[in-house]
Amino acid sequence: MNVIKAHKPSILKFGSVLLVFFVWANIVFSQDTMLVQRQQNVNETVPRTTRIGKRAERKQLMQFLKSLNFPEVDYNESDDNQWRHLAALFTRLRLYPLAMKCFLKTLSPDSLVDNDIPITNNDQKNIQNQLIITAKEVAPIKSSIIKVDSIIEKFKDGKKALSYAIILHVKQAVRGTPRVHKFIYTGHTFITLIKFNTDFSYASFTFGFGPHKDNLLAATPIIPSSSSKFTDDGTHNWDEVVGKFISKRRFEKILKLTKQYDGLTYNLNSNNCTDFGLKAARLGGLEVRETRGYWPLGAGNNPGVTGKSILLGKFSNMDTGNFEKLFIDTARIVPVEVTVH
C-alpha cells in the first residue's frame, strides 16, 4: 500500500488553501539549512470557552486563516477530510498539539478521548506567531541538549489531563529512500509527547535520543558506542510522521522509558535514536515493521529504512491492527514558489 497516495491531496483538487499549505511545507522542509524558532505556547492556561460545533469551529478557523492572507476556497469533500488537511498544515508548521486537535475531530469518541478538544483563541495566536516565524529566513538552529528531568517535569503541571498523544517523527538521510546515510548524515528519529488538560491548556515536548560524541570516531561504524544525550527537537525537520492518541498508562510508560535512557550508552548498531523512537512508539501502541538496514561493519534500525517502511504502509495501530485512528503525514513535496505577505 502506498500511504502517500492514500493521505496526500493534490494542489489542483483542493484549491488555493492547500497551495499555501504546500508552500509552507517547502519553506520548512525543502531546505535542510532552514529551521525555525521554538514556539512559546506550552503550559499556558486558556480561559474556558463555550463549545461550538465542529463545522462552526472549522469555519471560524478558516476565517482566521483567510485574515492571514490564506485565500478563501470552497471545499467539495467531507468534514473529516477537511480536518485532516488542517491537521497536516499545522503539523508542517510544527504546531503539533493543534494538529492532533484537528485530527481528533475525525475520530469518534472512545475510552481514550471522551470529549472533544476545542480550538481556542490561544491556538489562533500560535498560528499567527508561527507563520511570522516561518516566513523569516533564520540561521540554522542546532537542537539543544536537554536533561531528562526537564522532559519529565514538563508534564507535571498540576492540571487534570483530558487525553494524551504521541507523534513519531522520522527524518531520512535521503528523503523518500531507505539509504542509511548521505556522506556522514544518517537522519534522525524523534518523538513528540502531548498532554491535553481539561482547562484546554496543554503540555508538549518534542525530543530525541542521540550520541554525545566522546571523540571524532565515536558513534561511527568504527567505534559504534558513545555516551548519550537527549535533545530538544522542536525545530527539527522531518519527512514522515505518525501520530496517535494514547492512554495515561501508555503515556507514563513512555516517560518511564525516557527516564531509563538517561545516561544509557548510545550504540550505532543496537541503541540509537531510531531504537528509542520505535520503543516509545510501541509502548504507545504504534508498530513500524522492517526498520533494519546495513552499513559497513554494522547494521541496525535507522531513519532511512524506517521512513521508507512508513511510506510503504508497513506500520499499524496495535489496538486495531490497521491504520485506523492514526494520523499520518509525509513531507514529499514538489517545491512551489510564492510571495509571502
Rounded Cα gap, residues 238 and 307, in angstroms: 10
Rounded Cα gap, residues 281 and 260, in angstroms: 15
pLDDT at 8: 40
User: Confidence class of residue 24 from pLDDT cuts 50, 70 and 90?
Assistant: very low
Least confident range of 38-42, 274-278, 289-293, 325-329: 38-42
Which residue range is the domain that position 272 belongs to?
Answer: 3-330
pLDDT at 269: 97
Burial class from Cβ neighbours inside 10 Å (0-12, 13-18, 19+) for residue 288 reads buried
CB 303, CB 177: distance < 8 Å: no
Q: What angle do CA 154, 116, 133 make, to 5 degrees?
A: 50
Rounded Cα gap, residues 259 and 246, in angstroms: 19
Determine, yes or no, domain membership for 319.
yes
Determine, yes or no, domain membership for 192.
yes
Using the predicted structure, report yes or no on whether residue 300 has a pLDDT greater than 60: yes
Determine, yes or no, domain membership for 336.
no
Using the predicted structure, report yes or no on whether residue 257 has a pLDDT greater than 90: yes
Determine, yes or no, domain membership for 271.
yes
CB 33, CB 140: distance < 8 Å: yes
Determine, yes or no, domain membership for 337.
no
- Summarize pLDDT for 38-87 with one digit per residue, the tens: 333 333 333 333 344 566 666 667 666 766 655 444 445 577 888 888 89
Tally of domains within the chain? 1
Determine, yes or no, domain membership for 339.
no
- Summarize pLDDT for 106-129 with one digit per residue, the tens: 988 777 876 788 888 888 888 888
CB 170, CB 314: distance < 8 Å: no
